[in-house]
Amino acid sequence: MTRPTPIRVVLADDERMVRTALRAILSAEPDLEVVGEAATGAEAVSVVRDLRPDVVLMDVRMPEVDGIRATERILATLDEPPRIVVVTTFENDSYVYDALRAGAAGFLLKRADADALVQAVRLVARSDSLLFPAAVRTLATEHARARPAPPAWVAKLTGREREVLQQMAQGLTNAEIARRMEVGPATVKSHVAAVLAKTGTRDRTQAVIAAYEAGFLNGG
């Protein structure tokens, strides 16, 4: 169960104190060995290239090149890249998502206790697991809807116009919408006309398309 060769770790963080602390924690474990350190992203890339560690603990915030970019570069240029664990201070950091995209094997908070840190390193070193804090659940459940900026017209619609557009997007005719909203067909026509004007579209089909692409629908 004890492995012959220890897990080789590189630390990348611009603060010396952090590196020292991490080294102290990891060195206490017989199966872990800190083989190198880096204070910038650029340095991290070259150090990793030279030392070929099994795991890298990578701070997100670093001079010159940040941890995310350094991660991308390492994974893109090395044949058998190390597992990279991205480390940050704040949980709600948007870096969580960036780290995922960059190909990081894990994401750790600096406030994680020593125990969790050590186990995280061991885990990523030899399994294909990813390791992320609770924040990713938010991203996943909110469907990570990276809204590309909702078009201006959305705010300009009145309440009734919104309702009408919703129904249009269900494929209903004006008459059907009128029945559902318990108003006259002429009223619906007015609202539809207003929607077309504000969305800059010429017919209901284009308006529905605009609604879809604006992410205007509730539970799309």
Q: Which residues in this chain contact a second copy in the complex, by CB under 8 A? A: 1, 97, 100-101, 103, 108, 112-113, 115-116, 119-120, 122-123, 126-134, 136-137, 139-141, 143-144, 146, 168-171, 173, 201-206, 208-209, 212
Nearer to a second copy, 40 or 167 (CB): 167
In 3D space, the residue among 7, 8, 12 whose CA is nearest the CA of residue 87 turns out to be: 12
| 174 is a contact residue toward DNA (CB under 7 A) | yes
> What is the Cα–Cα distance from 192 to 142, expressed in whole angstroms?
31
| 52 is a contact residue toward DNA (CB under 7 A) | no
| 159 is a contact residue toward DNA (CB under 7 A) | yes
Q: How far is the CB of 63 from a second copy (least distance, A)?
A: 27
Q: How far is residue 66 from each of residues 70, 87, 121, 162, 191, measured CA to CA in Å? A: 6, 12, 21, 43, 50
Nearer to a second copy, 78 or 140 (CB): 140
> What is the Cα–Cα distance from 205 to 220, expressed in whole angstroms?
17
Among 191, 199, 210, 211, the residue binding DNA under the rule CB under 7 A is 191
Question: In this structure, is the dihedral angle defined by the CA atoms of residues 69, 75, 78 and 84, taken in order, positive or negative?
Answer: positive
| 204 is a contact residue toward DNA (CB under 7 A) | yes
CB 9 within 8 A of CB 55: yes
